[in-house]
Structure 1
Amino acid sequence: MGEKLAVYGGPSIRKDFLPYGGQWIDENDIQAVVDVLKSDYLTTGPAVGRFEQAFAKYVGAKYAIAFSNGTAALHAACFAAGIAKNDEVITSPLTFVASANCILYTGGKPVFADIDPATYNIDPRSIEAKITKNTKAIIPVHFAGQPVDLDEIHKLAKKYNLIVIEDAAHALGAHYKNRKIGALSEMTMFSLHPVKHITTGEGGMITTNNKDYYQKLLQFRTHGITKDANECFKYDGPWYYEMQYLGYNYRMTDMQAALGLSQLQKVDIFIERRKKYVAFYNEAFKKMEEIICPKQMSGADSSWHLYVIRLNLERLTADRKAIYEALQKENIGVNVHYIPVHTQPFYHKLGYQSGICLTAEDIYNEIITLPLFPKMEEKDVRDVIAAVNKVIHFYSRKDVE
């Protein structure tokens, strides 16, 4: 294997570098932001309200609350859910660190349940095994845009009186059993980072059908302050406001909201392009013994934020690192999603150890994320396929037997 690793090279498939993800900003988006810049409001104003209303309508929820970023939105959701010191919250290890960090922010304790080896989503059986008398909530993550098994998770939530906060950072526009993600649990978080389905630069959104959560989320994002006379302990007049608890400055600007509202009008087009390219990948790789393509759970319709392949290392003469580096040499901007959260040095300092979620840890060593974003052209997809074929062929075990 070492000899082959040393000689891999030659002319790359692409002359320019293709990233794994990216935004698509058009003239309408730019004009929407310019219009706000010419208006009386730059920070939180009428554009934020319009964006929230349109977003809630799109996902079918009663309320949507915009935040400065997705992590802030998750923090706010944990606060609204009442998560506090000694409360345990179960989440997935195969996710970005924000899915667990938000629990720590309110004093809670993240508990990691292992994942399903087919879908890479959190496994409900593992969730139930981790529930204790201190468990307060579940934060399931819709990995790569594929919905988790919400029916089973909701059964557990009802059985043990738990709150469900969906981390749908990857799943705007996804469906679970013909119902759009965003109005199925107590709260749902969406990310509006540039690599996601739509962007506000940085941004996040919580959707909910619960008025009490809605009011808490609004107040939390503005320092815990309210100006509502009906909510104040003491009301001195129209200038009066009260800080009733420790909140944060997590507000979204009107500039961001204007961009988001413009982007939202194109989200279904963006998702259809993602699905089209996924179909190309699936067709190209379905007969390759060296690659395991992503699988969808029955009843789930992914919105395909990521396309993650799993390497069948038994059929290869190289490890994931070598395959990754070879694809980078072909100017294909592959990535890895994600390093299991509990294996991070900070979490080790908190007492978490490797080996507690073996499926997630094993899969992490075998996965690579291929480029997938709507601004890609079909030629870009063909280049990715050609590069994967070239690298896999070079390292295929059948070629050296």
Structure 2
Amino acid sequence: MPLLQAAFFCLHADESFTSDRLYSVAPCNHVLLSPLLLIAYRTDALFDMSQLPFLPFSKPTIDEATISAVGDVLRSGWITSGPKVQAFEAQLSEYFGGRPVRTFNSGTCTMEIALRIAGIGPGDEVITTPISWVATANVILEVGATPVFADIDPVTRNIDLAQVEAAITPRTKAIIPVYLAGLPLDMPMLYAMANKYNLRIVEDAAQALGSSWDGERIGATGDFVSFSFQANKNITSSEGGCLVLNNAEEARLAEKYRLQGVTRSGFDGLDVDVLGGKFNMTDIAAAIGLGQFAHIEKITAHRQNLARHYFKCFGSDFEEKYGAQLPPPDFENSNWHLFQLVLPERHDGLPARATFMEQMQAQGVGIGYHYPPIHLLSLYRAQGFKEGMYPVAERVGRLIVSLPMFTAMTEADVERAVAAVKAVLKAG
């Protein structure tokens, strides 16, 4: 077949992380006359992979043991906060070196409660990044404080600590750094700044469970550290989160805030001395979390290997040839929650990301984007934020996309995603 390269794919079962048969696409080293055989003749033009099974950008993997454990909880009659929550908190505490850990029904309320424990409220300013899920800034508003944004670093896409220091005023009381895609900040620099200006830190490590800095796990040291167990995170409890605290007093206060401020003493003694909410995790969610958490090391290593394969498949000339920006190739610190590209601004004047996502969808590959700039959302525009205030965040937020990355992915899935990216960018 001159000028044509035949690519052969066959369906196979990947049982590395689950007892279920998770069907995915992998290279086939032989050709059989089988209805499962899929043959794509590829040229330099955009080629059609739409006949392959759809490859989502994220998909949770729940094993049979975890499903069985959830059934046990349902049969036990204790389905709200109970022994499974306690067991999950104990395992998380051990993982973080014995620090107190409390679980919640989201990784949003964890940050709000951290701010409340720190005594932050009206009249105070909290500095954070414009590139995050909107919850990061919303919790600042929830406690009555004022969000202040600092622009991001164009390479790491995390908040630029030099910009943070420039934004500090006498009203600044805390910083909420976000570890986008699982990549932490320079931790010594962050905490040196906090100590210099007497600021509290609420680490938004929603995406960073399993990440580290200089060999030390995120969450093992520092101030408040918040994690999320939402469905597309590296491990999930369906919905949920946890907060790593500094001492028993903070942990007790976190317990009050998560359940209406209630304090109990004896069989019939009940009091409320703080304004709390209904933020407790259920035993159903904790059972899922426990099942997932048992595999955290294997999951992290697998995602790091997938990221390495992404870089191998893109090749050393990808950025120069296609005009898109790869993430920093950090395999020591990041858990590779996401693998993100910043697209070139082209596609004949059409919105670059919308066109790219549409064409990738046509190729059977799912794409996400994380995130649009918070300060340009209507809620924040109404508070005076506008275009031009954080130019790096605005460019990245307009062009960033997340490629498929999940536990059950194979190297063949990575190869398929990369082939689609190159074909779409070349066609555009």
TM-score by length of 2: 0.85
Aligned to 2:189: 152
Give distance in 2, aligned partners of 1:337 and 1:61.
32
Give distance in 1, aligned partners of 2:369 and 2:241.
23
Aligned to 1:371: 404
Give distance in 1, aligned partners of 2:253 and 2:178.
23
CA deviation string 1:341-372 (max 9, x = no partner): 01101111122222221111111222211010
Aligned to 1:48: 85
Q: CA deviation at 1:317?
A: 8.4
Contact 1:327–1:387, Cα closer than 8 Å, also in 2: yes
Contact 2:46–2:427, Cα closer than 8 Å, also in 1: no
| Equivalent AA in structure 1 for residue 146 of structure 2 | K
Alignment of 1:349-388 (within 5 A): 349-388=382-421
Aligned residues: 379
Q: Establish whether residue 306 from structure 1 lines up as the match of residue 338 from structure 2.
A: yes
Select 2:63's aligned residue among 26, 44, 53: 26
- For 2:269, what is the secondary structure of its paired residue? coil
Give distance in 1, aligned partners of 2:59 and 2:383.
34
Q: Establish whether residue 241 from structure 1 lines up as the match of residue 274 from structure 2.
A: no
Give distance in 2, aligned partners of 1:316 and 1:277.
33
Cα separation, partners in 2 of 1:300 and 1:15, compared to 1, 3 Å: closer
Cα separation, partners in 2 of 1:315 and 1:117, compared to 1, 3 Å: farther
Cα separation, partners in 2 of 1:63 and 1:226, compared to 1, 3 Å: same
Give distance in 2, aligned partners of 1:314 and 1:11.
22
Give distance in 1, aligned partners of 2:47 and 2:59.
28
Select 2:136's aligned residue among 83, 99, 120: 99
Q: CA deviation at 1:130?
A: 0.6
Give distance in 1, aligned partners of 2:396 and 2:404.
19
Q: Establish whether residue 254 from structure 1 lines up as the match of residue 300 from structure 2.
A: no
Select 1:39's aligned residue among 73, 76, 91: 76
Which consecutive unaligned segments of at least 5 residues does structure 1 have?
Answer: 1-7, 230-236, 396-401
CA deviation string 1:290-348 (max 9, x = no partner): 23210156x95100111001224479987333222211211111111100101101111
- For 2:249, what is the secondary structure of its paired residue? helix
Give distance in 1, aligned partners of 2:283 and 2:221.
28
Q: CA deviation at 1:24?
A: 0.5
| Equivalent AA in structure 2 for residue 134 of structure 1 | R
Give distance in 2, aligned partners of 1:296 and 1:164.
26
CA deviation string 1:235-267 (max 9, x = no partner): xx5311111011001000011111111110011
Select 1:282's aligned residue among 311, 319, 335: 311
Aligned to 2:97: 60
- For 1:38, what is the secondary structure of its paired residue? helix
Alignment of 1:258-337 (within 5 A): 258-285=287-314, 286-288=316-318, 289=320, 290=322, 291-296=324-329, 301-313=333-345, 319-337=352-370
Cα separation, partners in 2 of 1:344 and 1:317, compared to 1, 3 Å: closer
- For 2:76, what is the secondary structure of its paired residue? coil
Select 2:379's aligned residue among 320, 328, 346: 346
Contact 2:226–2:243, Cα closer than 8 Å, also in 1: yes
Contact 2:85–2:282, Cα closer than 8 Å, also in 1: yes
Contact 1:14–1:383, Cα closer than 8 Å, also in 2: no
Q: CA deviation at 1:13?
A: 4.8
Moved more, 187-196 or 266-275: 266-275
CA deviation string 1:143-168 (max 9, x = no partner): 10001122111111101100001000
Give distance in 1, aligned partners of 2:294 and 2:378.
41
| Equivalent AA in structure 1 for residue 333 of structure 2 | D
Contact 2:128–2:150, Cα closer than 8 Å, also in 1: yes
Aligned to 1:224: 261
Q: CA deviation at 1:389?
A: 1.8
Q: CA RMSD in A?
A: 1.9
Give distance in 1, aligned partners of 2:242 and 2:260.
17
The percentage of aligned residue pairs carrying the same residue is 37
Cα separation, partners in 2 of 1:300 and 1:127, compared to 1, 3 Å: farther
- For 2:66, what is the secondary structure of its paired residue? helix
Alignment of 1:32-181 (within 5 A): 32-181=69-218
Contact 1:60–1:180, Cα closer than 8 Å, also in 2: no
Contact 1:340–1:364, Cα closer than 8 Å, also in 2: yes
Aligned to 1:4: none
Give distance in 2, aligned partners of 1:216 and 1:275.
37
Aligned to 1:3: none
Q: CA deviation at 1:378?
A: 2.5
Cα separation, partners in 2 of 1:349 and 1:253, compared to 1, 3 Å: same
- For 2:126, what is the secondary structure of its paired residue? strand
